[in-house]
Structure 1
Amino acid sequence: MSDTTAAPFPLAPASSGTWQRHTLTQRMLRYALWLFMVWALVQSLRHVEVIPEFLYDAPEQMGDMLTRMWPVDWSHYPDTIHSALMETLHMATLGTLLSLPLAVPLGLLMASNLTRNRALNFMARVLLVSSRSVNSLVWALLFVAIFGPGPLAGMLAIALRSVGFVGKLIAEAIEQTPRGPIEALQAAGASTLAQVWYGYWPQIKPAFWSVALLRWDINIRESGVLGLVGAGGIGMALDTALNLFHWNRVALVLIAIFAVVLIAEVVVVQIRKRVL
């Protein structure tokens, strides 16, 4: 019997190459991306007209403005700031509530696993993208030109801006739902409406309310500046104070906006903890 014993498994031949994390094509693409970023940065610096004298003078101007803001004119709050702040909250709330019944049907039409018609999917996607692509300030300018200055223009601007955000996230939540409950309802002969109500809705309900609360929180922030274009709210008080160089009132408006945003953040977090 031979002294040498055969190995239980054949040994693979040693490879002379070295392991590399990325292929040559991937490395070239990464280098091309870095070069593009450097080129874009250089082009931006070339075309953005930065005046050095203004940069050197900026700290002094900032210090002067902060000095003018102090002391804060707290006595001005009951006269105009409080009512403008409440108007801002009402604009954000009504705009969010108005966007929900508009966004839900578009979200259902955009979800490809629920709506099998590609034409309807494409139409809903175009409408949602159109809503998101236009900034709230642009919507506000359009509605101010149509309805005149005031909170109505701001509310409609917030609503149309929110439709694209809410509808897109609803469609994505529907497309990510497990198919098990839906297939069971289909096997039982349930209608499309029954599938949506008993199959999809219980699964996307937490995501839906989370999106609605998040959008309301965002709308409070956005509605604070819509008044700069005449769309009502505390932005109009801020614009008036800036135009009249009442810096102590500007400070009051900024503090009020910060306080409302902070309170809204706390309210949203508590609702999500206790309800969702």
Structure 2
Amino acid sequence: MDKAWLDGLAEVVQEAGRLVEDIARQGFDTQFKHPEERRDPVTTADLACDAFLKERLLALLPEAGWLSEETKDRPDRLRKSWVWIVDPIDGTREFVRRIPEYAVSVALARDGEPVAGAVVNPATGDLFLGAVGLGAWRNGTPMACSRIRGERLTILGSRSEMNRGEFEPFAGVLDVRAVGSIAYKLALVAAGEADGTFSLGPKHEWDIAAGVALVLAAGGRVHDGAGRPFRFNQPHTLTRGIVAATREAYGDLALLLERHAPRRA
């Protein structure tokens, strides 16, 4: 993998972002995976973007497996060394409400290890691109998962988790800012826009894989809620949360989580 190949990936993801916005302007239908609770929306934009990405990404790397939120899972991916891990629209609730905090999220993993990630915010065109060992870029400019510390750590938090009170134990300890998509939050941390982000509840691989790759490519630190490095393309796609931070903030954030985070089974 080289920068030219990575730029080809960026082009595909940017096209996917433009497709999402075209559909947003034309109008879209919304259904719910759990209709009785009106939970987990999926739109015609999610499905169209998924089909577009599957065609283009498998043409870019035909030997890869495929894991996407909007594609029925196939066990043959587990026999593949390379796998694409995709969320066509991470933050569909924000997309439906037209809050510009959703993202097209694409990761490439090899033998379980995150290799490359691309995240684009379709509403703004903001593109984050990276490959572990090669570097990371925001809109073509090199980026680093690093920032000057303030008196308190600035953390990007899930709007829904904040509404449920999950950040209340950190009141007065962290400065928490609500942002929608977890992929977008991780990309912003990779670019040094915040000290970190965390979610201690389960997350699917497609939610976080691209963001994990970006944080690592940009020199940051990231692990699951149990402190372990991520291994992707697993039979069960749920992970045990995520903690990501700049290299300067990682130690302090880990200590604050140990002191203040509620214990989970």
TM-score by length of 1: 0.25
TM-score by length of 2: 0.26
Hey, which of these two has a bigger chunk of helix by percent?
1
Which is bigger in relative contact order (C-alpha 8 A, separation at least 6)? 1
Task: Say which one has the larger Rg.
Answer: 1
